[in-house]
Structure 1
């Protein structure tokens, strides 16, 4: 019976390849200690031995062996990629001159202009220890603000190593920065000086310069938020978008319209394909002699590649281009463009090219939406929709697409961003069609008319559509209860949910419905998830205690980054001053006391308060945001210790013991955090 079930899968084995590949990649990133070369060599030898033994294994069980081999290959690819992108990372807090060439311009979460520099020169740091790239947020009034790609700048500023998670198990920015090639991040409040104008640029710098020039021209021709939206759509430059507009788009579940992803790439290439194909069909001499469909596919592919380059080639756009390219190549080969096999090929290419994408929300959400859409429309193929009136079919298609894509991506959006939009389906239904029939065609028209100086015509057509989308976002976000918030899920939830849904779609036979049971299990685990009773920031300046009203913070200002993440992950984001007004902690000047059962946790801020402290001040655990050189009769986490451990999470066990977990213990010792040796374990304090 097992053999029959396995043999029934032979027609769809290609679709399982990215699943097996992803399992290997996921295993690599889940490890708390970097797999050594010896272990990988043994794994490679085992995989090779299994490959040699494959002809001797029964036909039904060969896919199982291949799955093991492909998973091992996935782990090897992730290991290779991790080592290939390795670059120097700053390992201390630096203040001094920073010199470098501008290679990217964007905005931070606090709406500050942010410059990414390469060819970095730091004072008194040897070239081999200098990060290849740094990212600096620019604050204050600047005498020079005409930042252009390739310009060499110099400034005096602060740099630090990329920060670890704001709480144990949280988003690991160190890993994210490692794969972006960022060796340090920081800020400056001093004047930024231009040392040299752009030199003879290379091809990539020319494209970047073109991108920024188009962005500036679009925003000059279309002032305000609509112009910034248009620039983001056409070039990927979101530096002009304000935080209020971004927040409204997120609340309305329309933020995906801002990022150049599968929707934009599909609309653009689909529009070009249709125009070229039907345009050539109007010329009988061409239509009767040439393969117009394939010509249209080639031109659409070229346009998509240019759009990818112009937009800066971020991960989401690269992934979108791969998916579109697979579909257009299928057209060239005379195959059906949108199939699960095509999506599988695109996923394989992305995972081999950038295995780290597996852990990001962009990869998960875009492929979840695409797989769900293909599966649903394949199931509806025999539903006799042709009996519907012709005018209702596009409406029904848009409705089904928005509903399916929204439902497929909702768990991943909620897991990564702790937010669920209640009116997102409605907002998408009245916005996405306009993007396809007006905004993107107008953008193509503006691009075609640009050399003639008539781009304003396309932009004028585009502007009302963008203003409508922004209006929908703002109106939706302003509705009572427009969004709800959920707690961050336990780490096992998304893997279980993803595998369950893939099993439901890909497995052939009645056993596929077991996927529903495991999907339900994932939601049960999520619903029963708990949050740490007490959290400590990695600089010791902020603590947060979970109480009946929610998390109470030790101070109303300062440490806002950690505070915001804690409250979002609790599923109850409020302003920091509101959380600080709750009654979960006791304040006595710059000394804060919190109780976990019988355990007293004391947090001390500032040198003066620390110098006045007698012993531990009655604390079982003392948190200090200074370097404490005094021996004390309690467990102490001072600034030096916290820089080693990272943020802390504390909980009571069933027996009343105090369990302290560090970010370092959860993240393990990996290349991106610069740690070696065996990983730490959580600390358990007991009074017995």
Structure 2
């Protein structure tokens, strides 16, 4: 039976030969994932050896069809691995380990973002930081500024005093790693300014890249100012976000309403906006050229329109700040327009594969970006359905009457928006749950209400406003755009208020997400009945989706916040204040409780010296003052302290003090019968350039009958 199944699978794969090429980006991404999954940073020679070995196998087996396919796959895997390693080395810059307090910072303004609900944010290309030598100075820092009256301009040389910290570590083992993202953005510090921002006299001319982006940012700021002048308030802030990509002015309540209604994608310039802007230019230019018979009959006006649309998309990319999602949308749009100019099918899975491969080759770290995963999941799902429906229409076109085809076309127009939302929503749902622990249930209804407003009113008016802006004629068009935005925000708030609009779900394992994604790709990339196996792969991922053994104790990096698991979820000491860590812990546990509304009475027993709780028969002591050390170290199985305990505390099974937290980061403890297993952030991050500190073993298990401590008095980890 196994032999027959193997032959059937081989025959099915042979029938899909023309689709094999679509798996190249997937295998290339597998090489990137392999690189980032390593616990230690590989040496460059390992990547080179991997590529050379794969190339040798490719040259050796190129005479065999099947062997050639496998060799190409291995070569793509090795190239993905090597590209990720090369990218890591290209962005390598100094990383500081310790906090710098009230230090002088000098640099050129790269970006200045005004934010309505928080401090304004300043990004500097660094000239100097305090007394650091150039070899120790980060390339870029981000600081938050409290004063709303500060005004600086891109390209300007400024100085200020600031307290700088490394990017925050994950709040729990396996959580999102801000340090890795900051490494590839070359932003090694992000904290707050402690003094006023002033101009820096006598600074050398800024680098060419800074000067170029300074001119672009001045244009963006000028456009934003014109928009706000014609459309003040939150409507103007949303209009600025849709035109220039600056979202700092959008109130948080609007962002949350759009998110809970399943419309968060509207506020980030991505594929939807790029398609409408470029598509409108394409349609408009082609219509104008078609109105001139001498041109329409003699010249390829469709190609001219595609070229004009590509230029418009390029302008929109630059104007919007070229954020990563926008660059991704631009590349996909560029592939479509170039395909039109080359007389090739515009919307095909191969074009999607080319765009994905280009993005991953340029920025391999994008593979772990939620926006990359969600946007390509939606596009792949839509293109797969489009291909299936187009093939079906071609087969049945000759068998149906013209009247029936017109009726079907009318029905497609009516149901198209709903079907598109259903497909895209289904495709991105696993990624939304994995990254944000949220699933929206009325996204179809919200998109059905809002899609016509965006496609027919808001974005066309944005395009007409840009065209009219040089002539001072934009206010009227922006007013119309504002009416559309008001209707959109009202619809989002209405849908978000429906009972059960959002469900908060617990953590989804990485293996589960990988299997679901692989099953989805298998279902979409193949065309024959072989695609049905994708449902089997996705079903296996869903079977692994329910969380298994959740942490029984969670400890924040500073040692001041901890939680234990109760019958109904996580339990916090009564004095726990709302924090980012607490919010993330609750969401990962499938709990949407507002951290500010945590109950004041808990099973913890607290006094001014600390708190004591019990979980699975083990006593957990959270020490706040040194006066509690003697008693808690004598009675507790697990001791947590925000300061170093040293040899004064030897009896507990597990000791997590400042010494352990400073080297290992946040801790998660699992009580498994008589054993206590510990996982740490450092263990999950590994010895990587962005991890910040070395990894020490943290997985020993001890039996209750054999209590021990390590030589440093830090407990068993």
TM-score by length of 2: 0.91
Matches within 5 A, 1:119-268: 119-139=126-146, 141=147, 144-195=149-200, 202-268=211-277
Matches within 5 A, 1:6-21: 6-21=13-28
CA distance in 2, matches of 1:7, 1:251: 45
Alignment match of 1:102 (pick from 84, 87, 109): 109
Partner of 2:626: 610
CA distance in 1, matches of 2:197, 2:157: 10
Instruction: Note if 1:564 corresponds to 2:583.
Output: yes
Partner of 1:425: 444
Partner of 2:314: 305
Distance 1:195 1:658, change over 3 A: same
CA distance in 2, matches of 1:494, 1:342: 25
Per-residue deviation, 1:4: 2.6
Q: Secondary structure at the match of 2:108?
A: strand
Contact 1:587 1:593 in 2 (8 A): yes
Contact 2:281 2:305 in 1 (8 A): yes
Per-residue deviation, 1:398: 1.5
Distance 1:104 1:307, change over 3 A: same
Contact 1:661 1:683 in 2 (8 A): no
Per-residue deviation, 1:195: 3.5
CA distance in 2, matches of 1:15, 1:109: 44
Contact 1:552 1:581 in 2 (8 A): no
Partner of 1:413: 432
Instruction: Note if 1:272 corresponds to 2:281.
Output: yes
Larger CA deviation: 561-570 vs 390-399: 390-399
Partner of 2:99: 93
Contact 2:508 2:547 in 1 (8 A): no
CA distance in 2, matches of 1:626, 1:559: 21
Larger CA deviation: 456-465 vs 166-175: 456-465
Partner of 1:540: 559
Contact 2:117 2:251 in 1 (8 A): no
CA distance in 2, matches of 1:621, 1:424: 45
Per-residue deviation, 1:559: 5.9
Contact 1:554 1:580 in 2 (8 A): no
Q: Secondary structure at the match of 1:430?
A: helix
Partner of 1:495: 514
CA distance in 2, matches of 1:264, 1:196: 41
Partner of 2:692: 674
Per-residue deviation, 1:233: 0.4
Distance 1:582 1:175, change over 3 A: farther
Q: Secondary structure at the match of 2:200?
A: strand
CA distance in 2, matches of 1:521, 1:389: 37
Partner of 2:704: 687
Partner of 1:527: 546
Per-residue deviation, 1:611: 4.5
Distance 1:457 1:196, change over 3 A: farther
Contact 1:77 1:352 in 2 (8 A): yes
Partner of 2:347: 338
1:577-610: CA deviation from partner (whole Å, max 9, x where unpaired) = 43353634322224122323232221123xxx12
1:241-279: CA deviation from partner (whole Å, max 9, x where unpaired) = 111111111101111000010111111101100000011
Query: What is the aligned residue count?
Result: 680
Distance 1:279 1:42, change over 3 A: same
1:542-566: CA deviation from partner (whole Å, max 9, x where unpaired) = 0012212321123555460101111
Per-residue deviation, 1:187: 1.3
Larger CA deviation: 260-269 vs 590-599: 590-599
Instruction: Note if 1:450 corresponds to 2:466.
Output: no
Per-residue deviation, 1:390: 5.1
CA distance in 1, matches of 2:281, 2:609: 63
Per-residue deviation, 1:171: 0.4
Instruction: Note if 1:397 corresponds to 2:416.
Output: yes
Distance 1:55 1:429, change over 3 A: same
Alignment match of 1:376 (pick from 375, 379, 385): 385
CA distance in 2, matches of 1:528, 1:133: 39
Partner of 1:514: 533
CA distance in 2, matches of 1:365, 1:197: 47
CA distance in 2, matches of 1:427, 1:411: 20
Distance 1:108 1:414, change over 3 A: farther
CA distance in 2, matches of 1:288, 1:574: 65
Alignment match of 1:116 (pick from 109, 114, 123): 123
Partner of 1:76: 82
Larger CA deviation: 207-216 vs 18-27: 207-216
Larger CA deviation: 509-518 vs 322-331: 509-518
Alignment match of 1:468 (pick from 481, 487, 491): 487
Partner of 1:34: 41
Alignment match of 2:608 (pick from 575, 580, 589): 589
Per-residue deviation, 1:629: 4.8
CA distance in 2, matches of 1:197, 1:289: 60
Alignment match of 1:624 (pick from 641, 649, 658): 641
Partner of 2:51: 44
CA distance in 2, matches of 1:466, 1:196: 43
Larger CA deviation: 583-592 vs 85-94: 583-592
CA distance in 1, matches of 2:630, 2:610: 12
Larger CA deviation: 46-55 vs 446-455: 46-55
Contact 1:552 1:580 in 2 (8 A): no
1:630-687: CA deviation from partner (whole Å, max 9, x where unpaired) = 532134322232121010001112x3211111111111111111345x7634232332
Contact 2:286 2:302 in 1 (8 A): yes
Distance 1:332 1:222, change over 3 A: same
Partner of 2:399: none
Per-residue deviation, 1:346: 0.6
| Residue segments in structure 2 that go unaligned for 5+ positions in a row | 1-6, 397-403, 706-717
Alignment match of 1:288 (pick from 290, 294, 297): 297
CA distance in 2, matches of 1:644, 1:560: 22
Alignment match of 1:61 (pick from 47, 60, 67): 67
| Residue segments in structure 1 that go unaligned for 5+ positions in a row | none
